[in-house]
Amino acid sequence: MAMSAPLSNPVSSGAKSDRLIIAFLVGVIAVSVFFWAFPEVDLIVSHWMFSDRDGFILSKNPSLLRLRTSADWAMFGIVTLILLSLLWNLFNGALTWSRVRNPIWLLSGLIIGPGLIVNGVLKAHWGRPRPREIDTFGGEAVHQLVWVISDWCDGNCSFVSGEASLAAWLVAAALITPKPVRLAATATTSIYAGSLSLNRIAFGGHFLSDVLLAWLICGLVFLILNRLIPKT
Q: Residue 102: which H helix or E strand, with range?
A: helix 97-110
Give this prediction's pTM: 0.92
Q: Residue 163: which H helix or E strand, with range?
A: helix 162-174
Domains in the chain: boundaries: 13-228
Q: What is the mean pLDDT of residues 220-228?
A: 97
Cis amide leading into 79 (omega within 30): no
Residues 6 or more apart in contact with residue 125 via CB below 8 angstroms? 149
pLDDT in tens, 31-71: 999 999 999 999 999 999 999 999 999 999 999 999 999 99
Q: Is the dihedral of CA 211, 214, 216, 222 positive or negative?
A: negative
Fold classification of 13-228 is Vanadium-containing Chloroperoxidase; domain 1 (1.20.144)
Helices (H) and strands (E) in the chain, counts: 8, 0
pLDDT in tens, 160-210: 999 999 999 999 999 999 999 999 999 999 999 999 999 999 999 999 999
Backbone angles phi, psi at 55, to 5 degrees: 70, -145
CA distance readout (Å), 99 to 19, 31, 227: 26, 36, 17
Closest to 162 (Cα-Cα) out of 197, 133, 202, 134: 197
Select the more confidently predicted residue: 132 or 8: 132
